[in-house]
Amino acid sequence: MSLWFKIVRSPWFFRAISFASILLVWLALSSWLGAKLMPGPLETWTFLVRELERGVLLPQVGVTLQRVLLAFALAMGVGLALGFWAGRSPRFEQLLEGWVALGLAIPRILPIVVAYVVLGLNELAAVLSVFLIVLPTVIVQVREGVRALEPRLLQMSQVFGKGPLEVAYFVIWPQLAPFVWGTARATLSLCWKMIVFAELLGRTSGVGYQIAFYFQMFEMRGILAYGLAITLALVLLDALLLLGAQRAGRWRGREAMA
Amino acid sequence: MTQVKLKALSKSYVRGLEEKPVLQEVGFCLEPGQFLAVLGPSGCGKTTLLNILAGLEDYQGQLELLPKPRVGYVFQEPRLLPWLTLERNLAFVLPRPDMTRVHCWLKRVGLEGYGRYYPHQVSVGMQQRAGVARALLIEPGLLLLDEPFSSLDELTAQQMRTELQDWLTQSAATVILVTHNPLEAAYLADRVLLLSRSPARVLAELEVPFPRPRSLEAPELWRFARGLVRRLEEGQ
């Protein structure tokens, strides 16, 4: 097999094409609209490195990440518990139904604005509102995972006298894990988008604030550089979650291939 | 070994406003170490009866298991955990992991060398053998077999019936086998309980009058099985 054939057959080849096409579109837009309106990848990267050298970029990205992870951890923790309970108890699910429907239907910007008005422009309002925005999604996803648990395997464990901890670890978690990892990825993605938005509306630090700042200065390099920085940071975090998701779903893949 | 006493045991399922009786005043007494086959038409409530004995479902009436047994259950389908290897599936049911015992049972059921395979990597027959090994591994006082060979081809099923007899000689369990195969009941059991169509009630309880080991080719065994079918048909 020739080297060229090997490269073309590799899944990385198509991934590389996908990323290269983004750069190409960006370059095309930049040359069409002009560097002032749409700076190219190189100019954006240079600006990003300058911000890094000035010691501004990392603290701002760090603050945003801190908020994202806090809202994410809260949403996953509470959402897992409520989703699990809703999946096991129809009565609790009925009790939760109105809140979940409201949470899913409400415009996502609304809790942020309401929290800023009620609690003031502070950390609590930003994190709490984003937590409330993503919570219904986590509950629904986890509830569906719990509903999909195989009751016959639970019966088997019960017959053989297995305790709740063993059942949770050996029987429930392997079935639930692909749902939880998938939910974690979706939640993280939603959290960072909402946190950046909350920062843009009412905080004086973080990537969202920096974007708002450079928007007022009409400095597109700054807007794109901070957007790129947080995107790269979250792509890395998502890659970690993806590894977990792939590991958790390995047995399903093995079964499907059989 | 466990004594099993059932008296006027009934069970109904409630769907909406409707109550559907499944078992109607079923009763029998099984001495420790005995092998009972429960024979009845499909859907008559045989599996429900086993689930009640396994503590999976509630019921009305009296049920005594003396002394309280460790229950081994071989389900209609293997019910192995697909994310665990065969050996880890077996070890899962032990209170403490004992791989020597696990491998010993894998060898007994003809799965030596397959311990590290995942369930999907072996045939359904082999999975069912692992299911039997899992139930016997815990040295059950009460062994419940729910049509354990119904998902297998006849050749494999025949082989496993013969082997089950051998495996059970090494076990002191009281055994209840649910089946709709009269020959299987006559071949394996000490006694046969005939159940009617749903809601199931006891039609008859018969001793199997043949010494062990039995042969599946013996004409009297076939005659006895035909007799079971006749009685089932007459009782419906």
Strand residue runs (E) in A60-146: none
Residues of A with CB below 8 A from B151's CB? Answer: none
pLDDT at B151 over 80: no
Q: Are A161 and A102 in contact (CB under 8 A)?
A: no
DSSP type of residue A132: H
Mean pLDDT within A191-202: 94
Could you give the 3-state DSSP secondary structure of residue A40? coil
Task: Give me the total of CB pairs closer than 8 Å, taking one residue from chain A and one from chain B.
Answer: 46
Entry pTM: 0.81
Radius of gyration, alpha carbons of chain A? 22
Q: What share of chain A in percent tops pLDDT 90? A: 80
Helix (H, G, I), strand (E, B) or coil at B214: coil
Q: What is the pLDDT of residues B152-173, one digit of tens each?
A: 788 888 888 888 888 788 778 8
Note whether A254 contacts B120, CB cutoff 8 Å: yes
DSSP B129-192: HHHHHHHHHT--SEEEEESTTTTS-HHHHHHHHHHHHHHHHT---EEEEEES-HHHHHHH-SEE
B94 touches A: beta carbon within 8 Å: no
Q: What is the mean pLDDT of chain B?
A: 90
- Within 8 A of A162 by CB-CB distance, chain B residues are 92-93
Classify residue A91 as exposed, middle or buried by CB count within 10 Å of its CB (0-12, 13-18, 19+): exposed
CA gap B180, A238 in Å, rounded: 54
The 10s digit of each residue's pLDDT in B25-84 is 999 999 999 999 999 888 889 999 999 999 999 999 999 998 889 999 999 999 999 999
pLDDT-based confidence at residue A257 (cuts at 50, 70, 90): low
Q: What angle do CA B132, B202, A155 make, to 5 degrees?
A: 35
Predicted local distance difference test score (pLDDT) of residue A258? 54
Q: Share the mean pLDDT of chain A.
A: 92
Amino acid at A3: L
Taking only the tens place, the pLDDT of each residue in A116-134 is 999 999 999 999 999 999 9
What pLDDT, on the 0 to 100 scale, is given for residue B169? Answer: 80
Partner-chain contact A156 B56, CB within 8 Å:
no
Q: What is the pLDDT of residues B190-199, one digit of tens each?
A: 999 999 988 8
Nearest partner of A145 among A215, A237, A80, judged by Cα? A80
Share of chain A above pLDDT 70, in %: 97
Mark which residues 124-153 of A lie under 8 Å from B by CB: 152-153
Asked if B118's CB is within 8 angstroms of A251's CB, the reply is yes
What would the mean pLDDT of A25-54 be, rounded to a whole number? 94
For B66, phi then psi, to 5°, come to: -125, 125
Token output for B95: 């209170």
Q: Looking at chain A, how many residues does it have?
A: 258
Pairing relationship of beta strands B191-195 and B174-179 according to DSSP bridges? unpaired
Alpha-carbon dihedral sign for residues B177, B179, B183, B186: positive
Phi, psi (degrees; rounded to nearest 5) at B60: -110, 150
pLDDT band for position A255 (cuts 50, 70, 90): low
Q: What is the pLDDT of residue A253?
A: 63
Q: What is the mean pLDDT of residues A191-211?
A: 94
Which pLDDT score, from 0 to 100, does residue A124 have? 96
The one-letter amino acid code at A77 reads G
Please give the pLDDT value at position B71.
94
Residue B55 touches partner A, C-beta closer than 8 Å:
yes
CA torsion sign for B132, B138, B140, B144 is negative
State pLDDT tens for residues B10-27: 999 988 778 889 999 999
Write the DSSP assignment of B24-74 as a string of letters: EEEEEEE-TT-EEEEE--TTSSHHHHHHHHTTSS--EEEEEEESPPPEEEE
CB atoms within 10 A of CB A164: 9
Confidence (pLDDT) at A254: 63
- What's the confidence (pLDDT) of residue A1? 62
Choose, out of A153, A154, A160, A166, the residue to mutate when testing the contact with B (most B CBs < 10 Å): A160
- Among chain A residues, CA nearest to B139: A160
